[in-house]
Amino acid sequence: MGKTADLTAVQRTITDTLHQEGNTQKDISQRASCSQSAVSKHIHKKSVGRGKKRCTTKRDDRSLRSIVKKSRFQNLGELQRQWTEAGVQVSKATVHRRVGQMGSNSRVPVVKPPLNSRQRKKRLTWAVEKHRTAAEWSKVLFSDESKCSFGSQGARGWRKAGEEQNPSCLKSSVKFPQSVMVWEPCQLLVLVHCVSSSPE
């Protein structure tokens, strides 16, 4: 059998368009005025063997996702070590790339005081009693004691967009060395009025 002739630029365009529309190779060859073997060769060439083969499977990626969720504050080296222990031998660059493909990025965690279930329930009850909408709460100014630390702010955490307040992504406000206590106001958007009392 002789060598299959290469398609012209016009024939390649017609072949790609008709193939995307779901036409058979026989129909494509007739409409592009070329042999069916040339169409088959072109389609196969575009769909197979392009780019570097992915070094991890979907199962491997699910394993990494589970590792990240269990502890948000591990660095790349720790993630790589745990993934290696799970049977996946990859570089730190691959770990970082896979975590990014999952939608997670390294971010400074939001610092919140640790609350038990009783304290959470008490705060929710207090907020409900105020009968305010989310828009109204966005205009409220809360004053609270805060800590200003010098130097390192601790480990960064892996989280997706919108997970800032996820309990697993928060960092408890505990005592730090080289810090001072200050009183500061905090609010969601803009200052309009103040709340004079709040629950413990």
The per-residue pLDDT for range 59-78, each reduced to its tens digit, is 999 999 999 888 888 888 89
Contact, 77 vs 91, CB < 8 A?
A: no
Mean pLDDT of 104-109: 81
Query: Three-state DSSP class for 64?
Result: helix
Rg (CA), the chain: 29
The verdict on pTM exceeding 0.75 is: no
pLDDT of residue 181: 53
What is each CA distance from 9 to 12, 71, 117, 169, in whole angstroms? 5, 53, 68, 53
The better pLDDT of the pair 137, 25 is held by 25
- Tell me: pLDDT of 183 over 70: no
